[in-house]
Every structure is written in structure tokens, then in C-alpha cells.
Amino acid sequence: MKPRAIGKRRPYVRPMAGWWRKNPYFVEYMIHEGSAFFVAAYALVLLVGLLRLSQGEAAWNGWLFALHSPLSIAGHLLLLAAMLYHAWTWFNIMPITLPPIFVAGKRLSASAITAGGVAATVLASVILLLVVWRLTS
């Protein structure tokens, strides 16, 4: 005989609407995922530059001039801040995505992986800046 209680089962499924607002961790997740839009926005800025370059010298100079406007500089500062934040969160999640890395028989810690990623970014950025500096001066 089935237990009587079985007929009273009425599992309640809670709604997921607004799930990301319910926990600060998820809010941060949405912000750092959202910061990818700024990366895409900067790619668009560069692509427009490429397009203007293909349209001749006047178009290219016009694009360069537009970059000097206060609005453009403010926009670039915002983009830089968002991209730095995006990069930081990206390296922060990197340890979760990598298989265990062993150095001298010991597993590399999560913080070492994140620090390694940040260090590689800083190094690459400095090298790029130096190369551009050399080429343009």
C-alpha cells in the first residue's frame, strides 16, 4: 500500500527571475561579464580607425583628430578602467579553468596562477609600449 502522504506531494519550484541580484557574488559576476562589452567597444573603435585608414589620408586624419577630443579621452579612460577590471577578473577565474600545474612536485596555488597571468599582461604591455615608443619617436 502506498503511504497516504504521497498524494499530498506538491514540490514548489522557486522562480529564477532576478537571480543575479540576490547575491553580491552574482552581481560581481554580471559586472565582470558585462565589462566584456567595453573590450568589444574598444575593438570597434580600432576597427573604425582601420576603415578610415582604408578611405584615404583625410579620413584617417579626421579619425585621429576625433580621438583628441575631450569626450574621446574621457571615453578612453573609461574603457581603460573597464578593461583593466575585466583583465583582473579574467585572471582571477583562471585557476578554476586550468588543470593542476605541478612545479617541482608541488601544485601551483591559485594565487600564483593569477599573479602569473597579471605579470605576463604587465610584461607584454610594457614591451608593446616600448616598441610603439621606439617606432614613433
Q: Which is nearer to other proteins, 70 or 100 (CB)?
A: 100
Q: Is 12 in the site for other proteins (CB under 8 A)?
A: yes
Give the interface segment with other proteins, choosing from 21-29, 44-52, 80-88, 126-134 (CB under 8 A). 21-29
Q: Is 37 in the site for other proteins (CB under 8 A)?
A: no
Give the interface segment with other proteins, choosing from 53-61, 66-74, 94-102, 122-130 (CB under 8 A). 94-102
Q: Apex CA 93: angle with CA 87 and CA 96, to 5°?
A: 150
**CB neighbours (10 Å) of residue 3?**
7
Q: Which is nearer to other proteins, 15 or 70 (CB)?
A: 15
DSSP category for residue 96: H
Q: Angle of helix 70-97 relative to helix 110-136, nearest 10 degrees?
A: 140
Least Å from the CB of residue 33 to other proteins: 8
Q: Apex CA 74: angle with CA 72 and CA 78, to 5°?
A: 110
